[in-house]
Amino acid sequence: MSARVLIIEDDEEILKFLRRGLAYDGYTVDTAIDGQEGLSLARENPPDLVVLDWMLPGMDGLEVCRRLRAGGPVPILMLTARTSVNDRVQGLDAGADDYMVKPFNLDELLARIRALLRRTQPSRPKVYQFADLTLDTGTRQALRGERIIDLTAKEYELLELFMRHPRQVMTRETIYDDVWGYDFGGESNIIEVYVRYLRQKLESEDEPRLLHTVRGMGYVLREPD
pLDDT for the residue numbered 99: 86
Provide the pLDDT for residue 183.
47
Question: Counting every residue, how long is the chain?
Answer: 225
Mean pLDDT of 16-42: 93
Stretch 116-124: mean pLDDT, rounded?
76
> How many Å apart are CA 204 and CA 152, to the nearest integer?
16
Per residue in 8-22, pLDDT tens? 999 999 999 999 999
Residue 108 and residue 53: Cα distance in Å, rounded? 17
Confidence at 118, pLDDT banded by 50, 70, 90? confident
Q: Are 18 and 43 in contact (CB under 8 A)?
A: no
Number of CB atoms found within 10 A of residue 142's CB: 23
Section 145-151 average pLDDT: 94
Indicate the average pLDDT of the chain. 88
* 183 touches 176 (CB < 8 A): yes
Is the distance from CB of 19 to CB of 37 less than 8 angstroms? no
Number of H helices, E strands in the chain: 8, 12
User: Is there a contact between 199 and 209 (Cβ–Cβ < 8 Å)?
Assistant: yes
On the question of pLDDT at 186 being above 70, the answer is: no
Global pTM reads 0.56
